Structures are given as structure tokens and as C-alpha cells.
Structure 1
Amino acid sequence: MPEIKMPAVDGVADAAKAILDRIEQDLEFGAFRAASLEYSEDWQCFTGFPVIARWSLEADAAPLFEEGLRALALKAAVFEATGDDQASEIAIAVPVDEMTHAMLAQAQLSARIAARCGVGIIHQTDQEHTDYRSGGYTHDCYRAAWGEPPARYWLDHEEVVRRRGVLAALYASIGMGRSGRDHTLDFAAAAV
């Protein structure tokens, strides 16, 4: 299959701003935002949000929601320009991608909003790219639309890998293997 030529940065930026505006003006946007932020009881990923320094669900949820919206708008803008869902899976920083998962878990709301807004919301885990880097295509599109992305959330891939290594060592020190994918804890014998 021939490699698709990515659309011009300025065109993606303009389309993403318009898409984001339509989404935010939708009659169910408030419910979508509230439901996405209420998802906190299930935000137990060990390698997504925790790569943020001094991560706090209470302090970081709302700003991450905004970044997740922007990421989805950028992906939708690329899809609008190309019609190619694989090309639309542009590189997104790990914490921002994690937030999009919380948002897309609001399946009915997000589907209705997308349909009313005429937006193709693109996300497929086996095709996603979390290898975001400053100076790359996503960074350029974001900057053209909204200015410099917040470095707290838009972490370069190499830094995410480094921080995941730090987390993995800490998790292993309390008996959690493979960054929370298994553990040696025996709850019957554990003191509370």
C-alpha cells in the first residue's frame, strides 16, 4: 500500500480548531465532559498518567481533558483531509492518549456528538502511535492551532520510556511485576 502524504500543517490546524469548536458547542458537551472526568474510579493505569511528574487526578484531570479534546480534533482533522484512519493515528503523547481512552469510554455521548458535528473520531488501540516528539508532525499541527502544547502532558516518547523504567523499578520493589500487569501479593495474608 502506498504511503499517504500527510496534509499540510496549517490546513490540519484550521480544521482542528473548527472541529473542536463544533464539539464544544454541542448540546451534550457538558454531559460528555462531566462523564469523562467522572471516570476517575477506573483511572488505574500504571504507565499512562503516572508518567506525569507529581501526578494528581484532581489537579490534572481537567487540563488533560482539554488536551485529549485537542488530540482527538487533530486526528479528526487529518481524517477529514485524508479519509485514511491509519494516517489519522498521528503520534500522541502517552498521558494525553490515556485521557482519550477515558473520553472514548463515554461511547454513546461521544458517538452522538461526533454524528451531530459531522466528525470522524479516530482511535484504535492497535494502530495508535504514542511515540510523540516535539518538532514532529503532531507538534507542528498543535502549535499552528493553539500554540505550544503543555510540556507537562505532551512528553516526548524517550522521556516516557525513561519514566516508565523508573515506575517499573518502584512497582517491582513492592511486588508488582511488569508495571502492574502481574504481582506476587497474597491478599489473604496481607495486613490492612
Structure 2
Amino acid sequence: MNSIYAREYCRTHHTDLVSIRNPEENQLVREVADGHEVWIGLFRDSWIWSDGRYSSFRFWMPGHRNSGNVDTSLCGAVTDRTDDRRWQPLQCSYKRPFFCTCTKTRVLKVKVRSESLQDLNDPATKAAILKQMQQLVKDATLTDGHKLSWRTQADGQVFTREQCHQDDCDSVN
């Protein structure tokens, strides 16, 4: 598959094309590639990773670093042309195998208690709650690698109003 179709396939069926952020991840891709050139999620738009995340790790073949000449028809590949399997830019239209990343999805059910009659399904309110939750997760895990989103119910709502049970109501008053 060419790199653009590979990225779309990964985004549809998994998460994204693989991003390599350190020497250990690079070694793993090299081992699994088993001597083949494979697409990775590096795209020539200032050489950013397909998933949008940042990494300062680079493993280019000599002479193939970002020259400042932005050619968006080039995509990053792990090459079999050197013993250390460095990266090189290839035409995105070339057909190569590729690797997708798969992230684990966890569903957490959250109860939000509001003492006001504020509509929790209001887009601004949902965005504010989600932003607070993202900061809590980031603070707890010390990483930005988590993505939070709301699961919308069949009626288009995220939150469902529940009647306060006696035990819960007592703790609010």
C-alpha cells in the first residue's frame, strides 16, 4: 500500500501509522520489519508524526535530514539499505508494508454531581468538564499520551439526569 492509504487504513481499523519516539521503539520496528522497507507515520510537512505527537528522536540515513525543502510527496520509511535500518524519505506513492499502532480503549463511567440546574449536555459545559478531566489524568500519569472523549448515547446526549437517591442526597445537603 502507498503511505497515504496505509495511514487511512490504520486510522480506520486501528489508531494510526506507527510513530517511533525512542531507540527502543525503533529497534522493535526494525525487528518486526525483518529486512523489509516499511512505512512509518512520518510525513514531510516539517517531518511531523502522523498522529500529531512530538518526538525529538530521529534516525535518518546520512544526507536525508530535513533540508528545509518541504516536499509533501515524501513520506518516512524504515529502509533495508543499511545495516542499522535507518529512516529515509520515499515517494508516498510507493507501495510498501506498514505498521499501525493500536491503543487500548477504556470506558469509564463518570457521575457528575451538580448542585445547580446547569445543563451538563451544553457543549461549553461538556468541553469544560472534559478539559478538567484531561488535566487530572495528565497530572496523575505525568504523560500526554491519553486521549479523552465523550461517548454519546443514542439520544445524542452525553449525560443523563438521575434522581438523587436518599443516601446520595444526604451527602449533598
TM-score using structure 2 length: 0.23
Which has a greater percent of helix? Answer: 1
Q: Compare CA radii of gyration and give the structure with the larger one.
A: 2
TM-score using structure 1 length: 0.21
Higher relative contact order, chain-length normalized (CA < 8 Å, sep 6+): 1
